[in-house]
Structure 1
């Protein structure tokens, strides 16, 4: 499931985004599959992009608000849906969920690539979304939690009365589908545009009337136990549509004439640091009340009938937060956004003017890369290769210059890594003679696959958070070919502990020596541990919250014993021209020479409990039932 994290845009991050936003975005994408976007501020000499959203050019303006007898509020707004602070926003979609025009395009662009990707995945599975139906997805980079794609009826240009009559029940069904999804997902509020008007040609007055009357019908009489929305926002950016919604509300809710002016509320502009107006509630007859106090909020509690006062304070608080400039990180999981935030915090929290970057792709730097780094005045850069680990130490006169230089180096490393992956994928496709394919599927926590690994890792103080099953047909084909080449019919289940940033790389092109050498490698090749305990010993981690293990099937072929001073497998004594296929580099440690000798099967993401780990790190397992278990010592 996608994860979204908001980080206040304080001065240091703002400076980075202003001068090096492109580099930062590229780094977060390559390392952690995270998309970064800036909301609430426009950077100098730049226009709004999917990754940088300035304040909306339309000031959010509330035109009307009513409270139904059930306690549900209905409000009419002139505002930009792409920046409107709400729990869920509705998109007026087509049956194929192709968001190429109008509101759909605006929401998809602002929400980032996840919006169209999830829509495409749905269509591949279900072919289309029927007229009158709705579906709920994560909202990507939009300032809300969910986006509801709803398909309203599409009418011909200049529709006849008969066309409108036929379309009416479908539009009503669309609105009811939205409310059913809101209730099913427990969403606290939802922003709805004038679905089917505009590009779908539904006459505006009739469209507004159907939407408002369906709202009234659905929410007028409710059981207090139902998890319905607390507020319905009718949001449009153009004046004619906003006026049509106002008119429909006046007609359908029928307030007393002497209180009709109460519906014409004062304009509430949502700007940075703005204070919201409030006024006493006034009875309007028929159980309808009007209030200036409430504004759209992120409240999503299960209580359907909150008091106006409590709801208003919570909503206003959210608007002020949403209006504050902030950086949004959107990633495929909570772990990915956590790692991205941790990396960014480390970059900004250094105490001196020196920072060290550890990455074995530093050894792939070309002459032009070294010249580019060496041309920066006032910077001192030292390159190290110690015990199989490459690093660059950067020192400058100011912290800001050091951070900028570090981003430049990280961006260069990301470029090199992408080129490396591209070349390896080209070789993989050519050798396997099959199309590239890579699939990462999260395993259900109730499955035997998950429970077996959870029990085995738990012995060492590791709580398994997620297990992803990997399927890569070209890699599997090359692995099986390697088996035949080495004359081996069997393989071993063994492990490697890797940095988070290499999970995607290994799933696509398999294991590489650059990804995860142990603390003190004595041989050239790709290291694996025979069990979880040995993996923890080989790849010592400090205070990392998450640990990433890859479980692999490995064919070692003919193994040579390790001996001091020789980093390569030695020739066989009786066959001097023969080189062994792997090295036994100690108890439960194997080193292979070709990445195709190992097939990644699972990525296992764990959290470490330091207390349990320290208590049990020297434990032995005496249960004879575990002796042949691949995860045990």
Structure 2
């Protein structure tokens, strides 16, 4: 079996991957050690905000960086990095800093304090990049802006301006160093630091412009710099500053309500209300009949009235090649008008022709070097198309065009102001991924009756086999396990998903806040016989699976933090200043120790696929110290059955009750071990074992010492006598089950991977 596996994506699985995005790769790496590469799925069009966020302005700098102004909550803003307006001590005790620290959880403040403790305060004008905790971004950049008195002098303002310029440069330098694609910057120092708001906005915007236009800064510029604030006055000042510095951009007109904006690679698609004839873009698109009479139809007649009758004269005499006839704009505020002739919906191939008409308009605009184009809601009037069909087909065509277009273009869907139903249909089509269904992705898919209609736009890419996830693991077994887990989620048809993982009990306030923010699903937490579980249910299977993956990401993060804390504890308990290197060494399948175990496991319908020796000097040191403390000279050779995603963790931090809770903790809430393979299969019997392909065991030396019978609910061994400080070393559940309450009492020796379904009678 190869160490690479490909999972094709289509239908709902494609929607799920689109919604989860690249973080899915991090989950697979963290859970299984697999590298996941997502092919043919274009994430560049994903909106970087929530549905309630408002985009006020956008401009593209000569270097290709898009600068935009948003009214939004930074704590919920999905970008690569958010900037925190911090103080020199990184004490996040007020304003934006406190809001981000609360939303991101305790990691943000603890890492900040660690940084100051190890490196000293962060000076004014400087910035540092640290872990973002539970925030929906990869990094949080703590930037220290200047503090000013309430009535600053001219010299104080000039000095503060230089510091603010410096901190913006520091932020963008960190973006460059960390190779981030997007960063959200607030109005640093404008709040409790008393920097005058108007000057603050102007300084930040001009500093961004200077940095991006400096040739020394172009090694790695982000794709997007987003100026994000939550309060109206600050957003207004940022917008004014951008308009002063960058000029009025067609993509940045102020809106009183949130206008859907979707990024499809280099194409920015915006939905807006307004008369088509009043739009100020390079191209306006008109739909008309084969009679070439512009007085027929609402859109044609409106354009004719505004442009004058020279438009009609040129249109009548223009040569007809293909589906698009270009003319001048005359009195219209455009360079050209593209006239399309589409059939009624009930005519043959009407949907494909509508799709191709939009695609041809975009292609012709690109050929003629136009930078912006406005479309009406084609087909929703006399031609008889359903509003949703028109929205779906037009959106699909724009996405198809965007896949291979290398330039920059702004595309507008312009809906007549009073046509609320059509606007709503297009708004739903352009909504964030969690609120929309599948879209077709080819000319065939424009016809909803076509088998290709299940494929989505924006995903085909250059992979001829279609969208897929490629998994590369350290072994064929790991790759297969990761693929089985992922496929089981992506290809679900119905029902709730239950996550069984005792690290759910480690969720803190920030994690529970994240759970509350999950939309479209119901979350139920429970503990059954000492095993924590979380059930996710909802009307939409896609919503459920997306929520499950978000929970898995939270669990991976909690587990990483747990492992880091354990390693720090190891160093303290072992008296070390540095953790020695640990590794897993694969045991040769031809070796006697491998062959001996292989024969033994086959008696239990299992075949030994891989055997890894754990070499961890720290765990050995702590185990030896515990053995001396217990005066136990004869450890037992025992087994623990463990989930795949905890195998590597055991090799690093040893045994913990969270890793492998038994089916029934009848002898206490400790760490369970079995004396035989048969007993291990009983103690950790899996509810869905018939679907499992691989089983994982850890072979260990266990210091059971002075033991007694265990009982349900024990969190420590019972007292030996009347002195509560003198206790048994472990408890038992019969001759083949032992329970310890300190992970130092066991040393992992081998991690064993077995494949199910290979009885001894089938061996040589």
1:18/1:44 contact within 8 Å kept? no
Question: Is 1:480 matched up with 2:593?
Answer: no
Which residue in 2 is equivalent to 1:20?
Answer: 20
Q: Which among 481, 494, 499 is matched to residue 638 of structure 2? A: 494
Question: Is 1:466 matched up with 2:610?
Answer: yes
Which residue in 1 is equivalent to 2:9?
Answer: 9
Question: Is 1:379 matched up with 2:521?
Answer: yes
Kindly tell me: are residues 611 and 491 of structure 1, through their superposed partners in 2, closer, same or farther at Cα, counting changes over 3 Å? closer
The 1-side partners of 2:616 and 2:511 are apart by 33
Kindly tell me: are residues 578 and 395 of structure 1, through their superposed partners in 2, closer, same or farther at Cα, counting changes over 3 Å? same
Q: Give the C-alpha shift of residue 368 in structure 1.
A: 2.1
1:297-316 map, 5 Å:
none
Which residue in 2 is equivalent to 1:335?
Answer: 477
Which residue in 2 is equivalent to 1:426?
Answer: 568
Which residue in 2 is equivalent to 1:524?
Answer: 669
The 1-side partners of 2:506 and 2:531 are apart by 13
- Matched residue SS, 1:456: helix
Which residue in 1 is equivalent to 2:683?
Answer: 538
1:468/1:603 contact within 8 Å kept? yes
For residues 379-412 of structure 1, the C-alpha deviation after alignment (integer angstroms, 9 at most, x for no partner) is: 2111010001111111122111111111111111
Q: Give the C-alpha shift of residue 8 in structure 1.
A: 1.6
Which residue in 1 is equivalent to 2:153?
Answer: none
Q: Give the C-alpha shift of residue 373 in structure 1.
A: 1.0
The 2-side partners of 1:443 and 1:553 are apart by 18
The 2-side partners of 1:410 and 1:559 are apart by 37
- Matched residue SS, 1:602: strand
1:291-440 map, 5 Å:
324-432=466-574, 433=576, 434-440=578-584
Kindly tell me: are residues 372 and 564 of structure 1, through their superposed partners in 2, closer, same or farther at Cα, counting changes over 3 Å? closer
Q: Give the C-alpha shift of residue 429 in structure 1.
A: 2.3
The 1-side partners of 2:11 and 2:34 are apart by 22
For residues 473-518 of structure 1, the C-alpha deviation after alignment (integer angstroms, 9 at most, x for no partner) is: 1000100011001111221110000000000100100011000011
For residues 112-153 of structure 1, the C-alpha deviation after alignment (integer angstroms, 9 at most, x for no partner) is: xxxxxxxxxxxxxxxxxxxxxxxxxxxxxxxxxxxxxxxxxx
Kindly tell me: are residues 375 and 18 of structure 1, through their superposed partners in 2, closer, same or farther at Cα, counting changes over 3 Å? closer
2:661/2:671 contact within 8 Å kept? yes
Kindly tell me: are residues 563 and 36 of structure 1, through their superposed partners in 2, closer, same or farther at Cα, counting changes over 3 Å? closer
1:562/1:586 contact within 8 Å kept? no
1:441/1:470 contact within 8 Å kept? yes
Which residue in 2 is equivalent to 1:561?
Answer: 709
- Matched residue SS, 2:21: helix
Q: How many equivalent residue pairs?
A: 344
Q: Give the C-alpha shift of residue 372 in structure 1.
A: 2.0
- Matched residue SS, 1:520: coil
Q: Which has the larger radius of gyration?
A: 2
Q: Give the C-alpha shift of residue 353 in structure 1.
A: 4.4
The 2-side partners of 1:405 and 1:475 are apart by 36
Q: Give the C-alpha shift of residue 18 in structure 1.
A: 2.3
1:364/1:416 contact within 8 Å kept? yes
Kindly tell me: are residues 345 and 575 of structure 1, through their superposed partners in 2, closer, same or farther at Cα, counting changes over 3 Å? same
Which residue in 2 is equivalent to 1:455?
Answer: 599
Kindly tell me: are residues 391 and 41 of structure 1, through their superposed partners in 2, closer, same or farther at Cα, counting changes over 3 Å? closer
The 2-side partners of 1:535 and 1:602 are apart by 15
1:362/1:413 contact within 8 Å kept? yes
Structure 2: runs of 5+ lacking an equivalent: 48-402, 404-461
2:717/2:741 contact within 8 Å kept? no
Q: Give the C-alpha shift of residue 376 in structure 1.
A: 3.2
Q: Give the C-alpha shift of residue 10 in structure 1.
A: 1.8
2:585/2:614 contact within 8 Å kept? yes
1:488/1:555 contact within 8 Å kept? yes
For residues 173-221 of structure 1, the C-alpha deviation after alignment (integer angstroms, 9 at most, x for no partner) is: xxxxxxxxxxxxxxxxxxxxxxxxxxxxxxxxxxxxxxxxxxxxxxxxx
Kindly tell me: are residues 372 and 326 of structure 1, through their superposed partners in 2, closer, same or farther at Cα, counting changes over 3 Å? closer
2:599/2:760 contact within 8 Å kept? no
Kindly tell me: are residues 16 and 520 of structure 1, through their superposed partners in 2, closer, same or farther at Cα, counting changes over 3 Å? same
Q: Give the C-alpha shift of residue 351 in structure 1.
A: 3.1
Q: Give the C-alpha shift of residue 585 in structure 1.
A: 2.0
- Matched residue SS, 2:22: helix
The 1-side partners of 2:749 and 2:494 are apart by 42
The 2-side partners of 1:9 and 1:376 are apart by 24
Q: Give the C-alpha shift of residue 371 in structure 1.
A: 2.1
Which residue in 2 is equivalent to 1:578?
Answer: 726
Kindly tell me: are residues 4 and 511 of structure 1, through their superposed partners in 2, closer, same or farther at Cα, counting changes over 3 Å? same
Kindly tell me: are residues 326 and 350 of structure 1, through their superposed partners in 2, closer, same or farther at Cα, counting changes over 3 Å? closer
Which residue in 2 is equivalent to 1:442?
Answer: 586
Kindly tell me: are residues 42 and 455 of structure 1, through their superposed partners in 2, closer, same or farther at Cα, counting changes over 3 Å? same
The 1-side partners of 2:522 and 2:579 are apart by 45
1:2/1:331 contact within 8 Å kept? no
Which residue in 2 is equivalent to 1:29?
Answer: 29
The 2-side partners of 1:19 and 1:333 are apart by 29
The 1-side partners of 2:572 and 2:713 are apart by 37
For residues 342-372 of structure 1, the C-alpha deviation after alignment (integer angstroms, 9 at most, x for no partner) is: 1112212333242111111000010221122
1:13-92 map, 5 Å:
13-45=13-45
Question: Is 1:593 matched up with 2:738?
Answer: no
The 2-side partners of 1:14 and 1:503 are apart by 30
2:16/2:490 contact within 8 Å kept? no
1:2/1:332 contact within 8 Å kept? no
The 2-side partners of 1:435 and 1:331 are apart by 26
1:443/1:466 contact within 8 Å kept? yes
Structure 1: runs of 5+ lacking an equivalent: 48-271, 273-319, 616-633
The 2-side partners of 1:36 and 1:44 are apart by 18
